[in-house]
Each structure stands twice: as C-alpha cells, then as structure tokens.
Amino acid sequence: MSVLNLDAEGKEVLMMGNEAIARGALEAGLQVAAAYPGNPSSDIIETLAKVAGEMGIHVEWSVNEKVAVEVAAAAAVSNGNALAAMKQNGLNVACDFLLNLNLTGIRGALVVIVADDPSGISSSNEEDSRIFAKLADLPLLEPATFHEAKEMVRYAFDLSRQIGNPVIVRSVTRISHARGNVVLGPLPKERPPLRFDTSFPLCPLPTALTHPVLHRRLAQAADLMADSPFNTYDGPDAPELLIITCGAGWLFAAEAVDLLGLGSRVGILKVGTTWPLPTAFLLKHLKTTERVLFFEEVDPVLENNVLQLYAQHNRELPRIEFRGKGSGTVPAIGELSPDLVMDCLSKVTGVQPPEIDPAYAARAKRAIDGYAPVRSLAFCAGCPHRASLWAIKQAIALDGRNGVLFGDIGCYSLGIMSTGFFQLKTLHAMGSGAGMACGFGSFERLGVDQPSLAICGDSTFFHAVVPSLINAAHQQSDFLLMVLDNGGTAMTGFQPHPGTATDAMGKPAPRMSIESICNSLGIETFVRDPFELQTATETVYDLIQKRSGPKVLVLRQQCALVRSKKEGRRYRMTIDSQRCIGEECGCNRLCTRVFKCPGLNWDKGLNRSSIDEAICVGCGVCADVCPTRAIVREGA
Amino acid sequence: MKDPYNVIVAGVGGQGNVVGSQLIGAMLVDMGYRVTIGETYGASQRGGSVMSHLRISKARQYGPLVPPRCADLVIALEPSEAARVLGRYGNPDTVGVVNSRPVYPVDVISGVLSYPPADELLQTVESLCAKTYVLEATERALELGNPILANIIMIGAVAAAGLLPITEEGLEQAIREHMSADKVDINLTAFRIGGEMVN
C-alpha cells in the first residue's frame, strides 16, 4: 500500500508537496482526478493513479488541460468530488472552459490545482496564474507548507461544495517539488453518489443573471474563509515592520527574521486565502504598524490587492510605508530564496546578516570560478533527439535554402541550444511549432522560399498539434512536421498518452496511431528510426524537396532512459585507437566537439576520443558520426 | 546534532541524488525529526547540476532551501559539484563527503571549457571543509554492476562516519517503502561498502 492511501490517522510521514495535495484530495473523498502532465504538477495525478484501483476512483491523464478540467467538471456538476491539476501554462489552455463554468456553477466540488514555476525552472515561462482567480472570480488558496498543502486541499473541497463553484489552489515549485512532514488524517468511508440532475441546464447565459450569482458566490467564500486557520500572524503586538507573505515566501521570511535576530521587532502575517482577501484580518494588523514589506512569487498580486484594500480604508488606518515589488525593494521577477529575502529584509531594517571569514569567502569564490565548470543543459547520453536533430541539421544544410525549424515544448526544446546543434529556431507553447510552420509553409505567393519544418513530441502531437495539421491539410500548407516519438511524455516522467498502450492507472488502453491519424487527414506520412542516421537524413531531405502540401515524418525511437532501464545497452562502444588519430584526423573532433554525446569524452593525454562507461548507454549512433569509423559498436 | 542540521546532496542528473535524499529524509522522519527536502534542478533529466537540500530539525519545519554558507554536511556525488556547492553553501565547519569520479560537463566534452586537474580540485574542496572524506564510490559501484549505487555507498559512508543518525535497518525499511523489495539486497551491500570505506 502506498503512503498516499495509508489508513493511519495521526501518523507523521515524509511527503512531497504534490503527494500531500493528492492525499488531501483523498481525505476529502475524491472521486475523479484528471490532468495533463506538466512540472511541477505531474506527481499529483501520478501518485493518485497508483492508488486509483484500491480507492475505486477514476484517475486519468487527459489529452490536454482543457479536457482534463472538463472531465473533472463532469463529476463536479454531478454531485461528485473532482480535482484537475496542471502547471501554469496548462491553466491558459483550460481557462476558456473555466471562465464559463464559473458562471454556471457546479453541483458538487471541483478543486483546480495549479502549480506555478517561479523562475521557470522546468518551464518556458514563469507566469503567475493567481491572476486567473481574480479574472474568474473564484476563491484562491496558497499553501505555505507540505502539511498545510494537504489540509488546504481538503478544505478547498468543502469550500467548493458550499459555494457551488470551483476553488483554485496555487502551489509553486518549492512546495510541489519539495518534501516535508505531513500528518495523515482519516480517509472517508462514504462518498457522494454521482448523478446528473437533468431538471435544469447549466448555461452561462444570460450573463445579467449569472454574473451577479458568481459575485455572490465569491462573497460567500470570503465570509466562509474569514476565520480560516490558514491566515496567521506571528510577532509582536505592534511590529516596527509587518511582513505580509504567502506560499513559499513564508518559510523563507520566518528563517530570515530568525537569522537577523529580528523576532521582537518584525511580525509575519501569512495569508493562505489570497483571494478574496481576508479583509478583517488584514485591517486588524494594518492598524498596528507603519511599515509593511511584501514577499510573494512572482507578481505583486497579494501586494496590489492589499494596496487596494488600504486605499478603500485609508481613513481608519495609519500612514503606512509599503515596500515590495512596487517600490523596487523586492525583485519583480523570479522565485524567492532565503538569501534574497534576507537581503531585502536587511535593506529595509538596516540589520546586517552574519559575516563569514573573508579568507574563507575568497577561497569559496575561487572554487566557484575555477573549479566548477558550468553544466549546460544537454540531451541525455543516447537520447534519440540528438540523432533526430543531427539528421535534420544535415538535411537542412544539404538542401541549402536556409530551412526554418519551428518547435515547441518538450525535451526536444533543447534543440535551440548547442546540444541540439542550434537547429530549433522558435520555442513558445505546446504545439505552437506546428502551427507556425503551417503558416510559414503557406507564404509562397509572398515570396517565401525557405523550407518550413516543425518538430513536436508524441504527447504534444495529441495535446495541441492535431488542429494545426487539419488546418495545414485544408490550407495545403507546404510544411514538414516531424514527430519525435519516444514512446511517452518523457520530460515530465514518462506518463502515458493516447499513443501509448496503457492508461494512467496502468490498464491496457487503445493506442492511437500517429501515422493513422495523419493518413486519415490525407497527409503523406512516413516513419523512420533516427538511429538510422543516413536513412533519416535522406528522408528529411527528400520530403522538403516536395511541394505537395503538409508531410509528416515520425522519427520513432524509445527514450534512452526507458530503453536503457528495460533493455540495457544495445551495443558496447569502444574506440579503435588505430583509426582514431586525434587532432591529425581533420575531423576536428567531430564526435566530441559537435555531436558531443555525454557518453563520449576527449582524452587530452592520449589525443583520442574515449567512451565513458559509466555514462554511455550504447545506442551506437556515434559510430555513424565518426568519419573514419574509429568508434566501434559491438553487440552487448 | 546542530538544529537545524543542513545537508546538501550534490551531483549530476542521473546519479540518484534525489532518491538518496528521499531515503535519508524518510529515515529521519521515522526517528521523529521534522525534515524538509528541496530539490534544485534544471529542465533536463540528465547531465545538469542537481542539489537536494535537507533541513533536519526537532523544533520546526524549515524552508526547502539552505541559506548560503549554512551547510553543515555536503555529500557530493561528483567532485566539481562539491566545489560548486561548498563555494556557495560551505562554511569553516562544513564536513564534506565527496565521490572522486568526475562527470564531465558537455562543454568540457566539446572542448569549450576544461575540467580542473583532479588533485587541485580535491585540494580546493578540502580547503572549504573542516573535514573531508574522499571516496572512489563510482568505481566500487561499477564493481557492483551499476554506477547509480554510488549514492547508497556515500550514504553508508555518512552513517559510518557518524554524521547522520541513520542505520542499516532504517535504510532497509526506507528502501522497502520507497523503492522495491528486489532492490534491498544490492543497496544494503552498497551501504556496507560505503561504511567500510571510511573505517
């Protein structure tokens, strides 16, 4: 049995923030959970899927976030308890539906978890999705610890059912992807029966009627959350400085106050119910101070809302100096950290952090500058994307018309960097490479003669590329879409998708064929193995010579991490020291300087290439890159 | 043990850093500690610098990141990562447990950057620690058949050096809970080898 559904009330366990969120949902009587994978949110559904059978609940990886929220909403309008989870970009995809669902309301409970990624650690952007709560007039909760994440999600289900509308819980990387102590609560024995009441429809029109209802529901949420245990104050009765914070900022602020010895002078007000604001609680504490400092990630959402509250109540409040992102005291971008919070606090209070021995600091600086070479992002050893991009690079060069490779979000996004030979020229949203390439392939009459190419992943194909292909087929756009099919949603941890033969719960599922879908649209479709470099290169080259509407090439090879775990090494790689003649060769170290798979190394002493046996996974591709055939593959 | 006791497990993606930290954390929570683990890594599955920050306390739940200069113990699965992490988080009292086997960054492989000479690198690491244990953990792990076992060898060394209150029994239970039963024997062997390497 997983710790996730362990029936052991009161037991204290170590849980990842995402597991705590999932546990909170189970403690609330979860019945349906759906998501599309995206870090830092993926583990929520992944851990729920593992216990779905035992718990008798429905858990799915949906084709995209909009469908995930729709699947969850189907339960939530039928008296059920449902959860949808996503990363910040995912909420963009889902919000069209969500901003209509809020007007009809629900007849059960729906908790939407959005895990933001301040600093874009595993994302293309760092958007602050809390703005959506205000836009949609939906309540927003933000946990500050792992245990609180669990408690808050459980509470969010109750709140959602009481107000009859979805509730958003916003986590961040430092909560979702971190681990901490969580005390388990009871798992409910009974869950509400799922039934859709057909006596009246759910329709957002006329808005003159539904919009006021939405506002009433939000006001009701404000009343219910007024005395929430998630809003706390710790510090002196009349603090010199009041820190107002939420989410991960709270833990950093508490530690910074300790390290600077400011506990008797500075108070910390933690807001857990960030929208609508807990006005009475905030006003009570704003009356006690003349200086306020905000810490939150990423945008000044709480800050601006509190400033608005202050403006509305300025007659009953003291003159307050507000510091935060608006004043430039706290950086306007990126995630918070203990040192950043300590620096800001130090700036505002004039109290300096403890100093380190200057000789040690100098040695430390030398260590970083001289002994820790930067590790650029790179494809894994044996990654099929390296081979695919090598083939694409050769084909575009052979073609000579300066072809453009449009791309999107996935491991293959690294194609924009040196590890992908700088082949990718655009990187935006899921599926946007195909859409842009479809456009660029339609501009012949405008004098465009550069070939239009796009890559996407197999999971991305289903998520967002299919509509672009339909568009391309209808518009007869001349472009080549290459689907880098590595057999799963690799970047987020190999979750299944409609093209895999199992579902989230590990049960057999019908496998959608990428090539059948493309063929059914009347699009010529080919399948190649990128490890067969020569054939893959020739196919890409041939396809960009054809001016006959859209073409699809599936470059299919399993993710190296999955393959090496399942099959071990395909080949044992060695260097033929007679053939590798080092700098004298004339190849200018093509294998390590340009192809640079991490399984290869250049032995400066021997002036030869070498194989790192702890890293090489034996894909064998480098043997075809070496012009003198000095890299040798033997059956492992 | 100091409170909070701050541990950073540093390495390169794919070295089993995150799993190692999770096992340590699970053992300590069972012993009544409040443990917070933060992980820092980039977008790639492999090849990037990876750090796990462990905050261990009897008093309260600390934040998921160790403040600069506040590491009490650095467990480095790769020597240049030890230099990187000690350079930012080390202080004159920090203890280092360091695997000597380099994993070359892609820019070193391509020749854009060079990797520091082994002896100078270890001297630099030692100059930032009150005490340093240097282990050939990857070599021993390869003898066991899988380089990833270096992480458990390092944990074995940490336990035998008395740096964290963890035991073979605790590890066995944590592996059973977080990995799978068939992984127990090989990991316990790795744990014992690590212990022998510091004794």
- Residue B138 in contact with partner chain A when CB distance is under 8 A: yes
Which amino acid is it at B58? Answer: K
Question: Which pLDDT score, from 0 to 100, does residue B46 have?
Answer: 65
* pLDDT tens for each residue of A426-470: 999 999 999 999 999 999 999 999 999 999 999 999 999 999 999
Q: What's the sign of the alpha-carbon dihedral A436, A438, A441, A442? A: negative
pLDDT at A564 exceeding the cut of 90: no
pLDDT at B43 exceeding the cut of 80: no
Q: Smallest CA–CA separation between B5 and chain A, in Å?
A: 14
Q: Give the pLDDT mean for A126-153.
A: 98
The set of residues, in sequence order, having a beta carbon less than 8 Å from that of A133 and lying 6+ positions away, is: A139, A140, A168, A170, A274, A275
Cβ proximity of B85 and B8 under 8 Å:
yes
**Residues of chain B with C-beta less than 8 angstroms from the C-beta of A258:** none
pLDDT classification of A3: cutoffs 50, 70, 90: confident
What 3-state DSSP class applies to A63?
coil
> ∠ CA B58-B64-B66 to the nearest 5 degrees?
85
| The listed CATH number (3.40.50.920, 3.60.9.10, 3.30.300.130, 3.10.129.10) that belongs to domain A232-349 | 3.40.50.920
* pLDDT tens for each residue of A539-551: 999 999 998 899 9
Mean pLDDT of chain A: 96
pLDDT at A30 exceeding the cut of 70: yes
pLDDT classification of B42: cutoffs 50, 70, 90: low
pLDDT at A273 exceeding the cut of 80: yes
Gap between the Cα atoms of A336 and A340, Å rounded: 6
Q: Give the pLDDT mean for B133-143.
A: 96
Q: In 3D, which of A505, A513, A611, A621 has the Cα closest to residue A563?
A: A621
Question: Which pLDDT score, from 0 to 100, does residue A493 have?
Answer: 82
Q: Count Cβ neighbours within 10 Å for each residue of B22-57 and write b for 16 or more, e otherwise.
A: bbbbbbbbbeebbbbbbbbbbbbbbbbbbbbbbbbb
pLDDT classification of A271: cutoffs 50, 70, 90: very high
In this chain, the answer to whether the domains covering A3-225 and A568-635 adopt an identical fold is no
Gap between the Cα atoms of B163 and A488, Å rounded: 41
Residue identified by tokens 């991009």 is A389
| The listed CATH number (3.40.50.970, 3.40.50.1390, 3.40.630.30, 3.40.50.720) that belongs to domain A384-565 | 3.40.50.970
* pLDDT tens for each residue of B48-78: 899 999 999 999 999 999 999 999 999 999 9
- Residue A412 in contact with partner chain B when CB distance is under 8 A: no
Question: Which of A141-150, A153-162, B165-174, B175-184 shows the lowest per-residue confidence on average (mean pLDDT)?
Answer: B175-184
The 3-state secondary structure of chain B, one letter per residue: CCCCEEEEEEEECCCCHHHHHHHHHHHHHHCCCEEEEEEECCCCCCCCEEEEEEEEECCCCCCCCCCCCCCCEEEECCHHHHHHHHHHHCCCCCEEEEECCCCCCHHHHCCCCCCCCHHHHHHHHHHCCCEEEEECHHHHHHHHCCHHHHHHHHHHHHHHCCCCCCCHHHHHHHHHHHCCHHHHHHHHHHHHHHHHHHC
Q: Which DSSP category does A463 fall into? A: I
- Residue A339 in contact with partner chain B when CB distance is under 8 A: yes
Question: Which pLDDT score, from 0 to 100, does residue A614 have?
Answer: 83
The domain spans of chain B are 5-198
User: Which of B44, B104, B147 is facing A377, going by the closest CB pair?
Assistant: B44
- Residue B130 in contact with partner chain A when CB distance is under 8 A: no
User: Which of A180, A370, A490 is facing B36, going by the closest CB pair?
Assistant: A180
Residue identified by tokens 């890159």 is A625
Q: Smallest CA–CA separation between B103 and chain A, in Å?
A: 8
Within 19-78 of B, beta carbons closer than 8 Å to A belong to 22, 25-26, 29, 34-49, 61-69
pLDDT classification of A1: cutoffs 50, 70, 90: low
pLDDT at B175 exceeding the cut of 60: yes
Helix (H) or strand (E) holding A280: helix A279-286
User: Which of B35, B84, B91 is facing A356, going by the closest CB pair?
Assistant: B91
User: Which of B83, B105, B111 is facing A593, going by the closest CB pair?
Assistant: B111
> ∠ CA A480-A482-A487 to the nearest 5 degrees?
160
Question: Which pLDDT score, from 0 to 100, does residue B47 have?
Answer: 75
Please name the fold of domain A568-635: Alpha-Beta Plaits (3.30.70)
**Residues of chain B with C-beta less than 8 angstroms from the C-beta of A378:** 44, 46-48, 106
As its CATH architecture, domain B5-198 has: 3-Layer(aba) Sandwich (3.40)
Our measurement of the distance from residue A161's CA atom to the centroid of its chain's CA atoms, rounded to an integer in Å, reads 28
* pLDDT tens for each residue of B106-119: 899 898 999 999 99
Q: Calculate what percentage of chain A has a pLDDT beyond 70.
A: 100
Question: Which pLDDT score, from 0 to 100, does residue B158 have?
Answer: 97
Question: Which pLDDT score, from 0 to 100, does residue A21 have?
Answer: 98
Q: Give the pLDDT mean for A377-381.
A: 91
Q: Give the pLDDT mean for A2-16.
A: 93
* pLDDT tens for each residue of A193-242: 999 999 999 999 999 999 999 999 999 999 999 999 999 999 999 999 99
Q: Calculate what percentage of chain A has a pLDDT beyond 90.
A: 92
Question: Which pLDDT score, from 0 to 100, does residue A28 have?
Answer: 98
Cβ proximity of A351 and A262 under 8 Å:
yes
pLDDT classification of B178: cutoffs 50, 70, 90: confident
Mutate to test the interface with A, among B21, B55, B61 (most CBs of A within 10 A): B61
* pLDDT tens for each residue of A490-538: 888 889 999 999 999 999 999 999 999 999 999 999 999 999 999 999 9
Residue range A3-225, CATH number: 3.40.50.970
Residue of B nearest to A492 (CA): B45
Question: Which pLDDT score, from 0 to 100, does residue B45 have?
Answer: 57
pLDDT classification of A568: cutoffs 50, 70, 90: confident
What 3-state DSSP class applies to A483?
strand
The domain spans of chain A are 3-225, 232-349, 384-565, 568-635
